[in-house]
A = this chain, B = another copy of it.
Amino acid sequence: MSTDYIAVSETSGAELDELLASAEEAAPPWDQLGPTQRATALRNLASALDNAAESLVSLAQQETNLAEGRCRSELGRTTFQLRLFADVIDEGTYLEATIDSVDENWPSGNRPDLRRMLVPMGPVLVFAASNFPFAFSVAGGDTASALASGCPVIVKAHPGHPQLSAATAQVVAQALRDSGAPDGTFSMIYGDESARTALTDSRVTAAAFTGSLRAGRALFDLAVSRTQPIPFYAEMGSLNPVFVTERAADSRGDEVFAGFVDSYTLGVGQFCTKPGLLFAPAQSNAENVIAEAVKDRSGAPLLNERVERGYSETLEALSNHPALRTVVQGKNGSQGPSPTLLTTSVQELVKHADELLVECFGPTSLLVTYYDERELLTAAQSMEGQLTATVQGEENDPIAEELMAELRETAGRIIWNGWPTGVAVSWAMQHGGPYPATTSPAFTSVGTTAIRRFLRPVCYQSVPQALLPLALQDKNPLGIPRRVNGSLAWQ
């Protein structure tokens, strides 16, 4: 493929209507291809993206200020993700196939033959994010999991990388077509207005979003105020607090504080898992170590102007807050902002929680000092929903158990002696959390179970074998794990 410029313009009402009609029409045949052929389509798509890596990575670099290495590894993550979802649907547990045989003596009354499985919801609208131009954009996790589930996808392109989006969309559409997917299985739209129109269109059955709290909440409000509300899965970022116990600060404070700096400045602080808060003992050398590590770091450009503007505004508001002190003031040179470090105490933080506990998307973090380790519990309790929470502690820390229990109420992922940046795509990953980290605490947007967002259960009662979906037929032609009369069974 070439890197020719692709003309990009806002999707018109008529175009949108056609795309939605096409997506609706594609829903049954895309599902009916079956898991095996859909898995093949996803693998073909992954290969097609790999084959287009040179031009895609080059476009990504041009449009996002991200380095080549980062773009390459992110593309690798993206194609791996597509292949992993192919494995998920090949394996088949995700269908939750369940069979209850006729049981005349069943205690809730004569039980007919009941067979339950998950089926795709229908066309899914995916809002691409700016900070992962591959992994959370056109062919990212939301698209991969929705396509895997059997749902057609309409992607709303992020304006931060329009050319990359268009080029990626061409690869996706072509690869799906070549794999036997019906027209309308995948399409892309441009512009906020068309996205809002799509979100309120009855043909769209669910939507997924990664981005800011403000945008996510506005779209959530639209989705749930429809005549027919739909599930809206928004991942809206997080403060990702890190709690350093006294013992950890004593025994390996320097290492911990240096690690914190690496994590919060990684990718110029533009990860939704960036640790924006570090709780450390007031008597530790946290401030000095972090300041020392930060002050000579050079600046780096943010993703785009919109991100820059948002970062400057949030940082200015925080810097001017009387409860915060600026330890290191990042410079905003021609290269982009260098890291900033602010500080306060737990007491002040809790007192001004509403103003201080806001995500600052970029290379800024807040060091929060405590005098008594029990304050960590107070701090944890003051947190709203988080994607992650991290404890830097020792196993025999008297506070560890209580703190972990407290954090479980708040966070989707709890990290011990590690860092929240870096989200593995795997079976056990959870990327989500209570509001405002997401709008849907019961789900994840990364990892194999992300597919569950676009599925709904259907029960077949007394349906003859010939009219049952393959997943529910006696002979188990798909060879998938199922639950039969309450017991797990392989076939």
Contacts and interface: CB of A to CB of B under 8 A. Distances in A.
Interface of A: 28, 73, 76-77, 80-81, 87, 91, 93, 96, 98-100, 106-112, 114-116, 119, 121-122, 205, 220-221, 224-225, 228-231, 384-385, 395, 400-401, 404-405, 408-409, 411-418, 422, 424-430, 432, 434-436, 439-444, 447, 449, 452-453, 455-464, 466-467, 481, 483, 485-486, 488
Given A98-B428, A220-B229, A224-B224, A467 B404 contact: yes
Nearest 6 interchain pairs by C-beta = A430-B459, A114-B428, A116-B428, A108-B425, A80-B107, A100-B428
Contacts of A99: 428
Nearest to A472: B428
A414 B76 contact: no
Given A114-B424, A412-B456, 13 more contacts: A73-B109, A80-B107, A96-B449, A106-B426, A109-B422, A109-B424, A229-B435, A411-B458, A416-B460, A416-B467, A428-B483, A432-B457, A449-B457
A428 to B, nearest CB: 4
Contact of A463 (B119, B416, B427, B466): B416
A442 B107 contact: no
A9 to B, nearest CB: 33
A76 B107 contact: yes
B435 A457 contact: no
Nearest to A483: B427
B442 A455 contact: yes
Max chain B CB contacts within 10 Å: which of A91, A110, A464? A464
Contacts of A430: 116, 457-459
18 contacts: A76-B108, A77-B107, A80-B107, A96-B449, A106-B426, A110-B424, A111-B426, A116-B449, A228-B435, A229-B439, A395-B464, A412-B459, A414-B459, A416-B461, A428-B459, A441-B456, A442-B455, A481-B488
A36 B109 CA distance: 27
Contacts of A409: 28, 122
B395 A467 contact: yes
Contacts of A452: 442
Contacts of A426: 100, 106, 108, 111, 114
Nearest to A457: B430
A430 B456 CA distance: 10
Contacts of A111: 424, 426
Contact of A228 (B436, B447, B464, B486): B436
A462 B418 contact: yes
A458 B413 contact: yes
A401 B468 CA distance: 9
Contacts of A91: 486
Contacts of A447: 116
Max chain B CB contacts within 10 Å: which of A109, A411, A452? A109
